[in-house]
Structure 1
Amino acid sequence: MKKILMMLWAALCLQATAQTAKEVQADFQQRFKNSVCTHPQEALKLAKTPQERDALQFLYAYMDWPDVTDYTPQFMLDNARLALQTRTGFPWGKQIPDREWQHFVLPIRVNNEHLDSFRIKTYEVLRKRVRYMNWHDAALEVNHWCHSVMTYRPSDARTSSPLASMRTTTGRCGEESTLAVSALRAVGIPARQVYTPRWAHTDDNHAWVEAYVDGKWQFLGACEPAAELNIAWFNQPAARGMLMNTTVMGRYQGEEQILQQYPLQTTINVTNNYAPVERRSVRIVDAEGRKVRDAKVRFGLYNYAEFYTLYSTQSNARGEASLICGKGDLLVWAAKDGRYGFAKVSPNQGKHPTEIRLTHKAGDRFETDLTLTPPPVSNNYPKVSPEAEALNNKRLAQEDAQRMKWPSVWPSEKKVEEIGEVLHYDVARLQPLFKASEGNFMALYNVLEHFNQEKKICVLSKNFTQKEFVLHVLESLTAKDLRDFNEKVIINHIEQIEKQLSTSIAKKVGDEDFQRNLYYVLCPRISTEELTPWRTELAQTVETIRTFTHTDEQVAAIMQKLNGVKTDTTPASRFVPQAPATVLSSQQASATSKGICFVALCRTLGIPARRDEVTSNFQYWYGEWKTVDFGPTQAAANSQLSNLALSYSPRRFMENPSYYSHFSLSRLENGLPKLQGYDENATWEETFKKGVEVERGDYLLTSGTRLADGSVLCHISVFPVTADTTVPLIMREDSSQVSVIGSFNAENIYHDLEEAKEKSVLSTTGRGYFIVGLLKANNEPSTHILHDIEASRAELESWGRTILMLFPTAAEYDSFMKCRSEFPNLPKNLRFGIDSKQQVANDLFGSGLTQSPERPVVIIGDTFNRVVFFSQGYTIGMGQQLTKTIGKL
């Protein structure tokens, strides 16, 4: 009887709360009952078994709308068939519960990447690699394969597809985790991308992977294999995290807390898998203290000089809202009907919610100081045996060597010179294009070779040789575009520009007009959409609009077309852009995708158009930039502009505060802040000292000084802009920040690589202050530290003291040297060594500064054996932290 009960329980677990075919069918029918898009019905007709039909119905019922319109039914069927094969093709396939298979194996999409044929093209490769392994070892092995094809490198916000990432061998954490989740799902292991929107202790975010292995969710660093599951460089940062979440396709009902239940997706809270948590509650009241229902409530975490929204919700009938999160400070902002208020909400608040009064209104002017503290350091770092660690490091080195074989065949500068001479292109302009294209170099070569005629053309009233024009279009693309563009798409754009925008008479075109035409007419890139041949796909629509001769008439005709397209207002946890052509053909799109289509139509007609990076508004040029409106998220069209300047008194090591690092500007829209997206290289002196043009309205200026322990000295000010305005930028200081916090023996011995001998730290640094770091090869936090030190090269060289960076073994140093060229701008006073006797590590890890042996570690010490700065693990802005501390010594 006991055995029978256990079998019944196991069977129930395998079916636990998966969505039933009846539920899915109801959602499918409701979604498409009035749709003109025929892809879902075509896909179901292709299905040959009930299982295929059920899988396709689930996918189409809950996939993002652009996935419905932009990908073929056959593509969806091929992926569904492979997902079904995993149930019988792997030893663990039959052990996967229906719920976990349905939500975490079957779906193709991981994030907001372009969907590609990754599962189709890699299924057999991965199957052969893991088919005889157990479930646990297969998960580790898949991650080793991922490391052999991809490693970490920062990049822009657009998420490359898995195959594109493989082609370039690098990507940011969101792209690494997209690849790793896709690879695990390809072999039938349920996987999901875990995302911390922002860290609490340092300025950045991170994404990694959870895999469902042996009946439970376990984590791993994507493309960063460790010797065991649940071990990664981010163990300690995650233990200090405030929120970790993941987005699940469909109406998922698991054990995790549901943050948001959307029609197509479920966002769940997985923070308690990593960090101590508690419920943080607020009560929204009006000026008279009466509860406010349906107020918009944002739980914000200070990061990159703004209060980033971790979680957005509405107050309930009691005026309350809450979030289960880590034990650090939050700023909760609430608004309704133009009235707003905010409050700092700290841990251990007790039983009573923190009250937020909606007392502020448009036109108010006020400021306040806030000191924000992250969760405390936790020693959450599991141990593995030295033998397992050594074996894993050996494999990492082998995988590095395997991965580097592909970049070794990318064209050298000499080869690019030969290409330029053969194809008769300007070699000086080819060099940066080929360097940026990396593994996509053949696509670039094929575009150049395709346009190999010696002819002159006139486009938008400017004369070019065809080859010069081709280079202009290629140079308008981003570095990531060059790494993953499809050659047929770019060739199509260039040919269509020649066909559609050629003019017979050239006239003088000023530099400003030319640059505007280059980036806002000729460029194929609009926002974060996948590049498509939209000039051809929209040609027929454009021809009907081209009959109008004036720009304002053509724009009005475009708006009439797009106003006839149904605006998809389905709430979602992410934005996936839709191709411009399918916006019109499907007659349904989000407001943002309609805006992208607007820009594409304008550019096809030769009208400069863009999505403004600062405001995110869609605009066209007609003597000035004019804004168009596609929905409630758009600002009021063409509101009046005024100049906003920031006054600031420079001080040492804070001469020129940077946007995002030190301050940010948000516009208040209906009482809620909307960050203004200035360039990441914007600074006070270059951008805000003389002022920037902004739409009139209310603004929030946020500034902060992050201390070595991760806490922040923040200042916020709210003010109206009704005319040209100057407001002060205040950067708070803490004179007690630098103090003796521990000890370090400067007589510790290490192996110096410049002198090729064992020597003491003191004999290298001489008397005075110095910096010592313990790094790891193939380690994202260590990579961040070196890049951040590069960014502060001038200040650190001016300081002149020794910066000593040590690797634990010669093998790790050799592994690092394979990537040494990625750090060309390290300070001259930085030198590398090997902690050959582990004296430095043993001293630091036994000093009481930390109880964890995690690397990287960076200290500032002196030859009196005093430590005045200590940082461990993942952090951003290390160069600035060091120079700020040095400036106070």
Structure 2
Amino acid sequence: MKKSSAILVVLVFVSGLFGKALTLTQAKYRNPQLKKFLYRAKGEKKKWAKFLLEDMPTIDLMTLDADSMLADFDALQNALDSVPWANSVPKEFFYRYVLPYRVSQEPLEYFRKNHWKELWERVKDCEDMKSAVYRLNEWAYEEMKYEPTSRWDQTAEQTLVRGIGRCEEMAILFIKACRAMGIPARDAYTPYWPFTNSNHAWVEVWTGDRWHFVGGAEMTTLDNGWFYKAVRRAAIIKGIAWGELDSADVPIYYADNGFTILNLTPDYSDTTGVSISVFDSKGEPVESVDVWISVFNFSSLRPVAHHYTDDHGKTHFVLGKAELFVSAGKDSLWDYAILPIFPGNKTTKITLQLRRTDIPDTMFWLKVVKDVSVEKDTSYKPPEISYCRHDLKQEKLTACSKDLFQHLPDSTDETKFIDCINRAGGNRENLFAFWSAHPDEHPDILKLWESMSDKDILLIDSSDWEVLWEQTMNMRKKFDELKYPDSLFWDYVANPRILWEDYTNWYPQIWKKVKKFAKYPFGKRIAKIEKVVDKIDTLVDKSYFGGMMNPVQVLRARTGGKIERLGVFVAMMRSFGIPARISWDYKAAEYFDPKSSEWKRFELAGKKKQKERKTGVVRAIFRDNGEPKTELDYYDNFSIVKIEDGAFSDLTPPNEVVDSFIVFRDIAVGDYAFLTGWRNGYGAPFIRIKPFTVGEGTTDVEVTLGIPPANMVVPGDLVIRRFKELGDEKIKDTRGRLLKKSDWKSGRVIVAFFDTEHESSLSTAKKLADVEDIPMIIFVETTSKSKAKSFCRQVGLKGRIFYGDKTKLKKILKFRQLPSILYLSDGDALLWTEGLNLNIDKCIEELH
């Protein structure tokens, strides 16, 4: 699951911007390691090298190290020579799902050369791939636990150091472990759930009979992960293959630019095939129209699929079971429709006519499949030793050594220090060493650490900290000479991270490039930097594989995407001590002008002359049941959207609360809408769209939140099944007190059931913990009192804690899946929901 201050999702659409980037010949001259790699690869490995280089993303062409990649090949060959199933893997599967060294957008690494021996020890007694898959997933589970992290992917090696990762990072670790042992494995994901916020990524493994799905680092039977019901309610499920496939046993969603996106939906659920025809206002078919399929997620209608219409104005999608928002647009005209839920496998048609220019003022439901009936296979029993190893590693990563107490600073900085050390995970010893070497600079070191991402803190060893600190002080000297406010330094100058790029210490190479401009006055220096950045070629294709290039990689490649080129500008400015950042709309870079004390924008030069950017202010008052409400979170409660190419595109503008208003500044003049939603007990969203137009002054907008109008709600929207009462099982809480009927039949109370391992319970519990002023009775599926208390402490839940195995808990409440949450009033159910629910806090608070 992926979420940060900006919405994160790995979602690739077919885009008209795609084109050819660096040729391999160009790349060889810009990174001589490629020539060495090809020259030294012999025999079968020469074929491997040529295959990978043919579709290698630009970021890897600029970063690849020949010796490391050849060592990675050697490790794979050693594994293939050792495992009994090597010859049973089809050649096509080997090249697409075993040989590739990367899974997603994680930085380039050479995982096999470092870990193949360790992994071989785990599978050496396995006679087939299926048994090896279980052993490898046990290893992955022992090494990490699920925990949300920042937007960009970390490597498998970083995951091992931190001991935590989000779902995509869990998948990356497990897929690389499988591939290291010659087992075909691929990334699978749904871009956004239709029935709750966020998304999910997991793993598909081929075990000789067919593809099976499983959660990475989650010890379950194949095809029985915690999401085994959720995937059958998804709008679409996609899988990734290296290279461009001509055919597959599932629909090919997209194949170009060195990768293939497979539509795996038919492998998980019944599907709806929808043929869409798009016409103009005169009834003529329109080609090359953007056609989108969207779901409600994080308070916006977010695209999960995209195609262009053909010469006849037609396109086709294969989709899962949910009501979906279908839209199309071209040349500022657009139209939309709702695709209903059909039973079974079904084909249908939708016609759209491009004549709409406005955003409608409307509200509507998008229904979801309420539940699916599927048997859960519990035949696999995870070994107890794996649970022990998992717990021991987590304890080791959070335990405090005796040395820690010698390094504690005084007063309020003590808490900051401990927090930074905990964030470093397995890299804490390097932070200790650096900290103890600079006793007089502790306050500033803490400021640097606090400005940095967790994922960056764990990458840097003690010697690199020394280098980073020396250059930080150099930038500080330049910063002070320009008389900037101190508050701008740590986030916008010292922080080595610019956005989502591969981490590197870019300062030495960037400064070498731009120090010749130091002789110029401020304005001319800026102009010189702008000219350098504008000369960098535009990289118009973008592979699924590989993340955002850092400034050093862009300069080496001499090409980059728009956001990557803007990153170069930011790095160059910071190297002069000038505060700089990527703008909130991601369309420009900004630097702080010391004379005007304002942020100034830099936009890349384009073919068209740039128009002056005119902006306005929006004052919004949000009303829930008629009362103004300001304690709202962007994305959780609302978003601001506009129409781009026929789809809703959300903004992330800075905002502040002023009296009863939430005020948004720096909004470009144009047409927008506030988009809000409310979900029922099954997760179906009721969506409100409130349009408004921004001028150069202040625009006031009133937005309605909360439960739908009475005439748009039907019985059963909030309670998934009839609730009678909790079972009369004699069960005591962690303090030894029995559960009594009066505990849940008097007043309002939340009764919640969770397991301790799976993302669905962990994420839902963290959301439930945000509910205030309602007593909670919490049941945790575990036989350990300490583990039940630890789970509640980890997710922030407070209340009476009960625990027991699943059989015992089911005598209390016959839940069908976990988590299962009841909101009771005098014993009557106001709400009953089961499964992943990231809106549970919002729903209960509005009912309360």
TM-score by length of 2: 0.89
Conserved 8 A contact 2:76-2:116: no
Conserved 8 A contact 1:194-1:244: yes
Question: Which residue in 1 is equivalent to 2:372?
Answer: 378
Conserved 8 A contact 2:139-2:386: no
User: 2:699 corresponds to which letter in structure 1?
Assistant: T
Question: Which residue in 2 is equivalent to 1:399?
Answer: 389
User: 1:713 corresponds to which letter in structure 2?
Assistant: F
Question: Which residue in 1 is equivalent to 2:722?
Answer: 742
- Structure 1 residue 524 and structure 2 residue 499: aligned? no
2:800 corresponds to which of 827, 831, 837: 831
| Residue deviations 1:308-355 (CA, integer Å, cap 9, x gap) | 111122111121222111121111222212222222222349765212
CA distance in 1, matches of 2:746, 2:455: 46
Conserved 8 A contact 1:196-1:245: yes
Conserved 8 A contact 2:28-2:34: no
Task: Please state whether the residue corresponding to 1:443 is helix, strand or coil.
Answer: helix
1:626 corresponds to which of 600, 608, 611: 600
| More moved, 266-275 vs 740-749 | 740-749
- Structure 1 residue 260 and structure 2 residue 234: aligned? no
Shift of 1:809: 4.7
Conserved 8 A contact 2:407-2:436: no
Question: Which residue in 1 is equivalent to 2:578?
Answer: 607
- Structure 1 residue 443 and structure 2 residue 430: aligned? yes
Structure 2 vs 1, CA of residues 684 and 254 (structure 1 numbering), >3 Å: closer, same or farther?
farther
Question: Which residue in 2 is equivalent to 1:16?
Answer: none
User: 1:719 corresponds to which letter in structure 2?
Assistant: F
Shift of 1:237: 0.7
Shift of 1:860: 2.9
Shift of 1:507: 8.6
1:354 corresponds to which of 350, 355, 371: 350
Question: Which residue in 1 is equivalent to 2:132?
Answer: 138
| Residue deviations 1:95-115 (CA, integer Å, cap 9, x gap) | 111111111111111111122
Shift of 1:504: 11
Identity %: 19
Question: Which residue in 1 is equivalent to 2:473?
Answer: 498
CA distance in 2, matches of 1:836, 1:673: 45
Task: Please state whether the residue corresponding to 2:769 is helix, strand or coil.
Answer: helix
| Residue deviations 1:810-868 (CA, integer Å, cap 9, x gap) | 24x54444545413x433xx2111357946514743xxxx7xx422212234665x434
| Residue deviations 1:506-539 (CA, integer Å, cap 9, x gap) | 7965xxx222232112211101112212110112
| 1:771-786 pair list within 5 angstroms | 771-786=750-765
| 1:809-888 pair list within 5 angstroms | 809-811=782-784, 813-823=785-795, 825-827=796-798, 830-835=799-804, 838=807, 841-842=810-811, 844-845=813-814, 853-861=816-824, 866-885=828-847, 887=848
Conserved 8 A contact 1:747-1:762: no
1:126 corresponds to which of 119, 122, 125: 119
| More moved, 236-245 vs 770-779 | 770-779
Aligned length: 814
Question: Which residue in 2 is equivalent to 1:562?
Answer: 533
User: 1:745 corresponds to which letter in structure 2?
Assistant: E
CA distance in 2, matches of 1:637, 1:707: 45
| 1:30-429 pair list within 5 angstroms | 31-32=24-25, 36-39=29-32, 41-133=34-126, 134-226=128-220, 228-252=221-245, 253-348=247-342, 353-361=349-357, 364=358, 366-385=360-379, 388=380, 391-392=381-382, 394-411=384-401, 415-420=403-408, 427=414, 429=416
Task: Please state whether the residue corresponding to 1:751 is helix, strand or coil.
Answer: coil
Structure 2 vs 1, CA of residues 816 and 130 (structure 1 numbering), >3 Å: closer, same or farther?
farther
Shift of 1:635: 12
| Residue deviations 1:475-515 (CA, integer Å, cap 9, x gap) | 22123333444554443232123335525987965xxx222
CA distance in 2, matches of 1:501, 1:876: 42
User: 1:777 corresponds to which letter in structure 2?
Assistant: T
Conserved 8 A contact 1:201-1:709: yes
Shift of 1:705: 0.9
- Structure 1 residue 676 and structure 2 residue 651: aligned? yes
User: 2:635 corresponds to which letter in structure 1?
Assistant: Y
Question: Which residue in 1 is equivalent to 2:736?
Answer: 756
Task: Please state whether the residue corresponding to 2:424 is helix, strand or coil.
Answer: helix
- Structure 1 residue 651 and structure 2 residue 645: aligned? no
| Residue deviations 1:361-411 (CA, integer Å, cap 9, x gap) | 3xx4631222101234112242324xx4xx427345323333234225444
| Residue deviations 1:58-77 (CA, integer Å, cap 9, x gap) | 22221221111023122222
Shift of 1:877: 2.5
| 1:676-825 pair list within 5 angstroms | 676-678=651-653, 689-723=662-696, 724-731=698-705, 733-734=707-708, 735=710, 736=713, 741-746=721-726, 748-756=728-736, 759-792=738-771, 794=772, 797=773, 799=774, 801=775, 803-811=776-784, 813-823=785-795, 825=796
CA distance in 2, matches of 1:64, 1:330: 33
2:557 corresponds to which of 558, 583, 586: 586
Structure 2 vs 1, CA of residues 501 and 345 (structure 1 numbering), >3 Å: closer, same or farther?
same
Shift of 1:701: 2.2
Shift of 1:807: 3.2
CA distance in 1, matches of 2:96, 2:656: 44
Task: Please state whether the residue corresponding to 2:30 is helix, strand or coil.
Answer: coil
- Structure 1 residue 430 and structure 2 residue 392: aligned? no
CA distance in 2, matches of 1:72, 1:756: 60
Question: Which residue in 1 is equivalent to 2:510?
Answer: 538
User: 1:478 corresponds to which letter in structure 2?
Assistant: S
User: 1:402 corresponds to which letter in structure 2?
Assistant: L
Structure 2 vs 1, CA of residues 60 and 447 (structure 1 numbering), >3 Å: closer, same or farther?
farther
Structure 2 vs 1, CA of residues 405 and 505 (structure 1 numbering), >3 Å: closer, same or farther?
closer
Shift of 1:674: 2.7
Task: Please state whether the residue corresponding to 1:327 is helix, strand or coil.
Answer: coil
CA distance in 1, matches of 2:841, 2:607: 38
User: 1:870 corresponds to which letter in structure 2?
Assistant: W
Question: Which residue in 1 is equivalent to 2:636?
Answer: 661
Shift of 1:720: 2.7
Task: Please state whether the residue corresponding to 2:229 is helix, strand or coil.
Answer: helix
Shift of 1:34: 7.5
CA distance in 2, matches of 1:178, 1:113: 8
CA distance in 2, matches of 1:519, 1:577: 20
What runs of 5+ residues in structure 2 fail to find an aligned partner?
Answer: 1-19
| Residue deviations 1:620-673 (CA, integer Å, cap 9, x gap) | 222332333348799967611110121222439994443212211123445543
CA distance in 2, matches of 1:743, 1:28: 60
User: 1:308 corresponds to which letter in structure 2?
Assistant: R
Shift of 1:211: 0.8
CA distance in 2, matches of 1:579, 1:760: 57
What runs of 5+ residues in structure 1 fail to find an aligned partner?
Answer: 1-26, 455-465
CA distance in 2, matches of 1:706, 1:714: 9
CA distance in 2, matches of 1:378, 1:540: 60
Question: Which residue in 1 is equivalent to 2:5?
Answer: none
User: Larger RCO: Structure 1 or Structure 2 (Cα < 8 Å, ≥ 6 residues apart)?
Assistant: 2
CA distance in 2, matches of 1:146, 1:152: 11
CA distance in 2, matches of 1:312, 1:77: 38
Conserved 8 A contact 1:659-1:683: no
Conserved 8 A contact 1:788-1:877: yes
CA distance in 2, matches of 1:483, 1:268: 34
Conserved 8 A contact 1:282-1:320: yes
Conserved 8 A contact 2:137-2:218: yes
Task: Please state whether the residue corresponding to 1:648 is helix, strand or coil.
Answer: strand
CA distance in 2, matches of 1:544, 1:245: 49
User: 1:663 corresponds to which letter in structure 2?
Assistant: F
